[in-house]
Amino acid sequence: MSRPESSQMAILAALADGEPKTHRELVRATGLSEAAVWSALARAWRKGLVMRTAKPIYEVAKFFKGRGGISKTTRAFHLYVLAPKGEKRIKIGDREFVAFSKEYLDVRGGGKESKSKLILEFLKKHSNRAFYSKEVAKSLGEHGVRAVDVMSNVRRFERKGLVYVRGYRTENGQKPFAKGFLLTWIDQEKPRERALGEAIERTNKRLTQEISTSPIVQRVHIIRDSIIEASKLKEIVGVDFLMRRLNCSEGEAEQAIERCLQLYPDLKCVKLFDAYRYFYHDSMDGADLKAAIKMKENYIRKTKGRANRIGHNWEACVEWFVDKFTYGASFWTQQHRSNMDPKRITLHLIKPVGGRKQSAEVDRVWEVSQGLLANPITYVLECKWGLVHKRDLDDFVNILRWSKEFGVDSQDGRVIKQGVVGIFAGGAFDPKEKVRVKDEVIDLASYAARLNLQLLKEADFNAKLRERGCKATVERISKLAANEVEVREALDRIWNEPEKSDEILSELMERNKKLYEFERMLEEKT
């Protein structure tokens, strides 16, 4: 165990180069334990041997958690330098360094009243009201309380049952309102159930007070009326139906639905096939609800099943050709909570795009190394089976631009990072659709080129198959295969034995006959 004097000397030696250093940097430079460095720095500062920043520096640390998104935490730290003889205050760059004084002590050093205590006392003192977290920070701003301080402390109070925290309800938890989370005190003197009910009522009252005659409020009322009406008729309501009733954009509709569910807990959401959301009122009888869900599941199979299968098969076709004809392609993979293909990648958005709030999925991402000294190129693939329109291209580009992974801020606004190439693979691109760019009218292919997108069409892949002597087409393979695994197996066999193309496709057709019959049966009941 090192002596206090030797620890202090090691710290001073590490600071001898004149460069300001953090506690963590000094731990690495000296090889001492964190506790030893803290003790040595505290003694050296009090003795006037070192100076530290007058105010703490705040840093946001991010941790990637897969589909759970990115977790953030705020860390406060100081920088330390050797103290010039006789100086009490110096400036290095834009940072001010000071000698020891009680006024510069942090809360944990005993120099100030705890921010945690200030926040708790504020909520307790105003226990008859509910406040947004930003309002709490503003009210206590003169005491040094910032927005980042409020929720980090309130979450501890919430775990202890002292404070009720309310936000927008989502599948994965809660999100803050525009002004932050809504907070109110839970009366500890009353029975728990009664105190919690009163806290919820206070937040309801605060939310109701802020409702105005804005368009979103009108949409909320339409959504609620539509869901109650459907429940009376023993039906459940889908997002597409609500969007038609609202007559607004997808993003506006999603915002109104989210707000409606938050304001009215008696409205419930059920997710069918882990993909399609439907809504009902909790007064609906259990047997009626089960019957309505069964009917909607049949409807989804009828309208979405075959199209969904072929769409995923088309993605597998494109992936197979990329892997076959791209030397050194290394595909990204990602673990998902559902049974989704690990090669489908979830991107994290810093701005909503087309109704997607915090995340969006792309079909494939792969990297290709250009050489030992060159940076790899990253390719991002989006697939759509069927006719592709301008809105599809715009949506894909916006996802890339506003994603944390592939977008970057520039002098011209948000752009796609250098070295990232977007590829859009479609069954066909609408030849009749024209795009006006300033005073010029161009076709979709030219428009895609201006967006720096590469286009891949079904005909491009069929040409490769014909060169090989195969009679099969990617359209036929996508329609006959039951899933993506069968697509890859069929393409491997056809490529290796092109003369047996018809035989391989016939085997697929025979193997999946029951699947086709089921899909036809659903279509006939339309």
Q: What domains are there in the chain, each with its CATH number? A: 4-109 (1.10.10.10), 115-209 (1.10.10.10), 215-284 (1.10.10), 303-524 (3.40.1350.10)
User: Which residues does residue 75 pair with via DSSP β-bridges, in sequence order?
Assistant: 59
Helices (H) and strands (E) in the chain, counts: 19, 25
| In the chain, % of residues over pLDDT 70 | 89
Q: What average pLDDT does range 427-442 have in this prediction? A: 82
Question: Pick from 75, 77, 79, 101: which is nearest to 92 by CA?
Answer: 79
Side-chain half-sphere CA neighbours of 51 within 13 A: 23
Q: How far, in Å, CA of 444 to CA of 435, rounded?
A: 7
| pLDDT tier for residue 111 given thresholds of 50, 70 and 90 | very low
3-state secondary structure of 284: coil
Q: How far, in Å, CA of 166 to CA of 185, rounded?
A: 12
Q: What average pLDDT does range 196-209 have in this prediction? A: 85
Q: Check pLDDT > 60 for residue 67.
A: no
Tell me which of 177-186, 306-315, 406-415 is least confident: 306-315
How high is the pLDDT of residue 110?
Answer: 44
Q: What average pLDDT does range 300-322 have in this prediction? A: 81
Question: Pick from 196, 277, 177, 185: which is nearest to 237 by CA?
Answer: 277
Q: Check pLDDT > 60 for residue 109.
A: no
Q: Check pLDDT > 50 for residue 293.
A: yes
- Determine the longest span between alpha carbons in the chain, in angstroms: 92
Q: How far, in Å, CA of 274 to CA of 272, rounded?
A: 5
How high is the pLDDT of residue 431?
Answer: 77
How high is the pLDDT of residue 169?
Answer: 67
